[in-house]
Structure formats: structure tokens, C-alpha cells
């Protein structure tokens, strides 16, 4: 995870069903606590607010479960007691409310299941790899990257397989199907530029994306893809089928409407849910989509929204590119509908993230950026 807003910052929690509006609680960069890696954490005041709300909600839920005779009531009440006994430091870490010998990471996962409605990981030992704050005793669920635990991540159609990419001496990446992608460093440099033109580096009104959207773009260290962590999947539990696999992001936009009675022209700001790659393409300075053209993923990764991995081509060419990709995958016996085993798990990705984080630091130093 690179410096910036983590997906957990804007997920729904004890505050309510809607995503946490970080621009309200931490409107400027100075409001964020920083980890050694440079990742921003919400201030302790936000954690305190959520804890108080969480105790109230969990207590009400436990009473309701008791009334219905549900066995989950005891665990729900226990989580409320843990929150009530915890202390909060300046980084928003939850500390001290659990018994000796109890694993904070496991408590964080239970809280995530309760407040963020995520699910338990297949391998509980991976939980600690998802920690963001660097405090081993912390069990604040927002200080873990539980986006790895979302149910939709098991509903995969085509995922990034390391065997599909070849790194050239120049640093550029050649795909199995013949497309050339920019180097990871170049994609990362553009990612930094895009990030610096978004909240909280700029005010909300001038941000390229909404705070929720910019927090949901993850930089993939293998290929430089910008992964969108919201994408449409079939909701019936079928693990081998996706609705379309394309990422989705919210974006603010302005429309001009004419009052038919008075003739007055008004500009109205609205927000919509759009294909992620179209959102970032439209938000990138100097990029416009020609009428009748489609955006083609040269990386063949539908969740990617890196403008450097996109090209605008005619619809027929877009279809032909898809045929070439699937043919190359079949010839390589990689299969056209990869499974949940065809991606790198958190422990396998860790070395790649470490390397990319150092590249990030080098780029920031070269540009005189403070993060």
C-alpha cells in the first residue's frame, strides 16, 4: 500500500451505512497521522467518534440477539466490552482492551466482520500482513487493509498472472499478447501526479476524484495497473462468474439545465457511478474520448484504470484485441477464466510492494515532494 488514503479510510463503519466522509473529519493533509511508510491514518478524534458509536450499536445488537435467542449475542457483547475498555493514541490505534495473549489482528478481523461487513480470510495468518499502522498491539479495523477480505475478490474472471508479463531491459513490460506497457516507475510517477491533484492535496472542489474514489485505487506493484476495488459481480454466490469485471468509481460532475418556465440556465453539481477507466481517463488533464471510440485495456485487466494502460480505438479493433488476448492465454495454457489461485496473495506481493515503495520515495525526493 502506497502513501495516501487507504480504502479502509472511506469504508462504511460504525458511523452508519454510508462511507465515512474523510473530507469532513480530516480536510487537510496536516490532519492525518503518518506511518513510517508515509501512509495517512485518520486522527484519533475520528477513531474516538467511531468507538463511541460502535459501543452503542453493538450493545443494541447484542440485546436484540439475546431476545431472538441467537448464540452470536455473547460475542457481540464481548466486542462492545473490548471497545469500551480500549484506549486511543494520537494515530487512532486501539490499544489495551484485550486480554494478555489475545491476538490483536484476530480481534481486528472480528471487528471488521461486525462493522465493515467483510468476511474472514481463508488463512488467518495473513491478517497481520494487512496491517497499515505499524503498531503490533493495535486492533483498529481501519488500520488493516481488509479490502483483501472482500467477498467480491473471490469472484474473479481474469486476474494478473505473473507469467503473462515480461520485463524488458528498458523497464517496460511486454505482455503475453504483444502489447507494450510503460515501466512500473513511469506508471507510479503518473499515479503520484494524479494523487497530488486529488483530495486532500487539493480542496474537495478542485479534486480530480471524490475522496472515496481516490482511496479505492490501489497501485499494483507487478504491472503498474491502477486497480479499482469496486466492481460489479453477480450477487448469487457463484464464484466463477462476474457481471462484467470492470471497476466502478464515483465522480463529481456538473450539468447545465434550463428552467423551461423562466429560461434560466443553472449549473448543477451531481455525482454518478461510472466505469473506473472512463473516470480516470476523463479526469486526466489533456485526455478526451473521441465520439464512437472505445477505451482498450492494453494490460487486459478490466479493473485497471491507469490511463497509461489505455488507448482509444474503434469498437472493431477493441474486439479484435480481446480475441488476440484470449488466444494468447489459451496457447500458454493459462486459461481464459482464471480462478482465485491465479493471483499473488498478500505474502507474495509484499516484496513487490517494498520495491515499489522505495521507487515512490525516490520519485518524491527527486521532485521535492513532502509526503
Are 166 and 289 within 8 A, CB to CB? no
Note the pLDDT of residue 350.
Answer: 78
Q: Which of 2-6, 287-291, 315-319 has the lowest mean pLDDT?
A: 2-6
Note the pLDDT of residue 126.
Answer: 73
Nine cell digits for residue 147: 479490502
In angstroms, the CA 315 to CA 294 distance is 6
Under the banding of pLDDT at 50, 70 and 90, the label for residue 113 is confident
Percent of the chain exceeding pLDDT 70 equals 81
Under the banding of pLDDT at 50, 70 and 90, the label for residue 204 is confident
Provide the Cα torsion 67, 73, 79, 83; round to 10°.
10
Under the banding of pLDDT at 50, 70 and 90, the label for residue 80 is very high
Q: What is the mean pLDDT of residues 143-149?
A: 72
Q: Which of 97-101, 118-122, 195-199 has the lowest mean pLDDT?
A: 118-122
Under the banding of pLDDT at 50, 70 and 90, the label for residue 156 is very low
In the predicted model, is pLDDT for residue 247 greater than 70?
A: yes
Q: What is the mean pLDDT of residues 24-48?
A: 83
Q: Which residue has the higher pLDDT, 126 or 286?
A: 286
pTM attached to this predicted model = 0.80
Q: What is the mean pLDDT of residues 157-170?
A: 80
206-226 tens-digit pLDDT: 888 888 888 888 888 889 999
293-332 in b/e burial notation, b at 16+ Cβ within 10 A? ebbbbbbbbbbbbbbbbbbbbeeeebeebeeebbebbeee
Q: What is the mean pLDDT of residues 169-192?
A: 94
In the predicted model, is pLDDT for residue 172 greater than 90?
A: yes
Q: Which residue has the higher pLDDT, 268 or 15?
A: 268
Query: DSSP for 289-305?
Result: PPTTEEEEETT--TTB-
Q: Which residue has the higher pLDDT, 263 or 306?
A: 306
Q: Which residue has the higher pLDDT, 101 or 254?
A: 101
Nine cell digits for residue 287: 485526455
Under the banding of pLDDT at 50, 70 and 90, the label for residue 255 is low
Three-class DSSP category at 312: strand
Note the pLDDT of residue 111.
Answer: 86
In the predicted model, is pLDDT for residue 7 greater than 50?
A: yes
Amino acid at each position: 500500500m502506497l502513501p495516501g488514503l487507504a480504502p479502509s479510510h472511506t469504508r462504511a463503519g460504525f458511523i452508519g451505512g454510508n462511507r465515512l466522509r474523510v473530507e469532513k473529519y480530516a480536510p487537510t493533509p496536516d490532519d492525518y497521522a503518518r506511518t513510517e511508510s508515509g501512509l495517512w491514518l485518520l486522527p484519533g478524534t475520528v477513531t474516538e467518534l467511531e468507538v463511541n458509536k460502535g459501543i452503542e450499536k453493538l450493545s443494541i445488537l447484542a440485546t436484540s440477539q439475546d431476545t431472538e435467542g441467537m448464540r452470536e449475542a455473547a460475542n457481540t457483547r464481548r466486542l462492545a466490552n473490548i471497545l469500551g475498555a480500549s484506549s486511543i493514541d494520537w494515530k487512532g490505534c486501539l490499544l489495551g482492551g484485550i486480554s494478555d495473549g489475545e491476538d490483536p489482528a484476530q480481534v481486528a478481523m472480528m471487528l471488521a466482520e461486525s462493522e465493515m461487513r467483510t468476511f474472514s480470510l481463508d488463512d488467518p495468518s495473513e491478517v497481520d500482513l494487512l496491517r497499515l499502522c505499524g503498531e503490533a498491539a493495535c486492533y483498529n479495523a481501519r488500520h488493516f487493509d481488509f479490502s483483501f477480505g472482500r467477498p467480491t475478490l473471490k469472484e474473479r474472471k481474469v486476474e494478473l498472472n505473473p507469467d503473462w508479463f515480461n520485463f524488458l531491459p528498458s523497464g517496460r513490460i511486454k505482455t503475453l499478447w504483444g502489447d507494450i506497457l510503460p515501466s512500473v516507475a513511469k506508471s507510479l510517477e503518473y499515479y503520484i501526479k494524479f494523487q497530488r491533484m486529488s483530495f486532500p492535496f487539493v480542496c474537495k472542489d478542485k479534486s480530480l476524484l471524490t475522496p472515496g474514489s481516490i482511496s479505492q485505487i490501489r497501485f499494483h506493484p507487478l504491472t503498474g495497473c491502477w486497480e479499482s476495488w469496486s466492481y460489479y459481480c453477480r450477487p448469487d454466490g457463484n464464484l466463477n462468474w462476474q457481471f462484467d469485471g470492470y471497476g466502478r468509481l464515483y465522480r463529481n460532475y456538473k450539468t447545465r439545465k434550463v428552467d423551461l418556465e423562466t429560461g434560466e440556465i443553472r449549473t448543477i453539481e451531481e455525482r454518478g457511478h461510472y466505469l473506473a477507466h472512463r473516470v480516470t481517463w476523463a479526469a486526466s488533464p489533456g485526455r478526451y474520448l473521441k465520439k464512437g471510440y472505445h477505451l482498450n485495456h492494453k494490460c487486459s485487466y478490466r479493473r485497471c484504470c491507469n490511463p497509461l494502460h489505455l488507448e482509444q480505438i474503434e469498437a472493431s479493433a477493441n474486439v479484435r484485441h480481446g480475441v488476440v488476448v484470449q488466444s494468447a492465454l489459451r496457447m500458454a495454457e493459462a486459461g481464459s477464466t482464471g480462478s482465485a489461485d491465479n493471483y499473488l496473495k498478500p505474502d507474495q506481493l509484499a516484496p513487490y510492494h517494498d520495491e515499489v515503495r522505495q521507487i515512490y520515495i525516490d520519485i518524491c525526493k527527486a521532485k521535492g515532494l513532502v509526503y
